[in-house]
């Protein structure tokens, strides 16, 4: 792949993950080429990769759209993520260094600062959360595991639902990270695995509650405007 294609892929992926391109939105080569500052050839290459990631889907008329994930699709993704991140936590526990534990503590402190603000800094929370989980994967050092998790972590995370997380839910994420750090500190592989799997399963239920709330809200708006 060319550097132009890699750059376009990263830009478009970020637009989808952040919610700038919402589920169901059309994806047009001409507009994306202008946004990314490249020709249409790298855009086509990037879009093929995004189709492989299941972030873009093509209709029968060969038009491209941002993929729409059902709640069942998202639950499947979170179940797989829980299993894979549980494996990552178990492996990381065997090899993590004191310096890496200290780095996890620093990242989680940054996450805590983000959610302590009034109102909570959701973008700061999400950035610190990504850094926290990415560091655990880097400790494991498995490119294959990282590749498998990449789409599972980002595809179901819809930016707008994060803004409906309660203070308690944000606080629980912070606390669960602290428990993970404690497990790593003590080298307890089974504890780390259990905490990580529960952490991801709880994240799904938070997402599902926010998704249902937003869906119900959108349906009510449709009824009122009918």
Give residue-wise pLDDT tens across range 137-189: 999 999 889 888 876 756 545 455 566 678 898 999 999 999 999 999 999 99
Instruction: Answer yes or no: are the C-beta atoms of 166 and 131 closer than 8 Å.
Output: no
Element (H, E) at 56: strand 56-58
For position 224, what pLDDT does the model report? 39
Q: 8-12, 20-24, 216-220: lowest mean pLDDT where?
A: 216-220
Mean pLDDT of 89-95: 96
- Greater confidence, 218 or 94? 94
pLDDT bracket for residue 223 (50, 70, 90): very low
Least Cα distance to 85 among 18, 155, 139 occurs for 139
Q: 9-23, 111-125, 157-171, 178-192: lowest mean pLDDT where?
A: 157-171
pLDDT bracket for residue 48 (50, 70, 90): very high
For position 183, what pLDDT does the model report? 98
Mean pLDDT of 55-70: 86
For position 205, what pLDDT does the model report? 87
Structure-token pair, residue 175: 């606390």
Q: Is-same-fold flag (3-66; 71-223)?
A: no
209 pLDDT higher than 90: no
25 pLDDT higher than 50: yes
pTM score of the predicted model = 0.75
Mean pLDDT of 123-140: 92
Each domain of the chain, given as residue ranges in start order, spans: 3-66, 71-223
Instruction: Answer yes or no: are the C-beta atoms of 51 and 90 closer than 8 Å.
Output: no
Q: How far apart are the first and last CA of the chain?
A: 48
Structure-token pair, residue 103: 């780095």
Tracing tokens 């994930």 back to the chain, one arrives at 69
Least Cα distance to 14 among 126, 166, 107 occurs for 126
3-66 has which CATH code? 1.10.10.10
- Greater confidence, 88 or 215? 88
Dist CA 183 CA 112 (whole Å): 19
Tell me which architecture the domain covering 71-223 has in CATH: Up-down Bundle (1.20)
């Amino acid at each position: 792949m060319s550097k132009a294609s890699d750059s376009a892929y990263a830009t478009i992926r970020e637009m989808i993950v952040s919610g700038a391109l919402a589920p169901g939105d059309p994806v047009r080569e001409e507009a994306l080429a202008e946004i990314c500052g490249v020709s249409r050839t790298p855009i086509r290459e990037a879009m093929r990769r995004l189709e492989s990631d299941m972030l873009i889907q093509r209709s029968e008329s060969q038009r491209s759209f941002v993929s729409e994930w059902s709640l069942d699709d998202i639950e499947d993704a979170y179940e797989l993520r829980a299993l894979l991140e549980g494996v990552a936590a178990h492996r990381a526990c065997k090899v993590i260094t004191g310096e890496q534990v200290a780095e996890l503590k620093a990242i989680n402190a940054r996450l805590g600062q983000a959610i302590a603000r009034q109102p909570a800094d959701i973008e700061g929370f999400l950035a610190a959360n990504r850094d926290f989980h990415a560091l655990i994967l880097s400790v494991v050092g498995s490119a294959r595991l990282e590749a498998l998790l990449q789409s599972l972590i980002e595809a179901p995370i819809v930016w707008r639902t994060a803004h409906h997380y309660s203070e308690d839910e944000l606080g629980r994420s912070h606390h669960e990270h602290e428990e993970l750090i404690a497990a790593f500190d003590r080298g307890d592989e089974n504890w780390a695995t259990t905490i990580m799997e529960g952490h991801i399963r709880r994240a799904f239920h938070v997402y599902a509650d926010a998704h249902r709330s937003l869906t119900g809200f959108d349906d009510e708006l449709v009824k009122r405007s009918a």
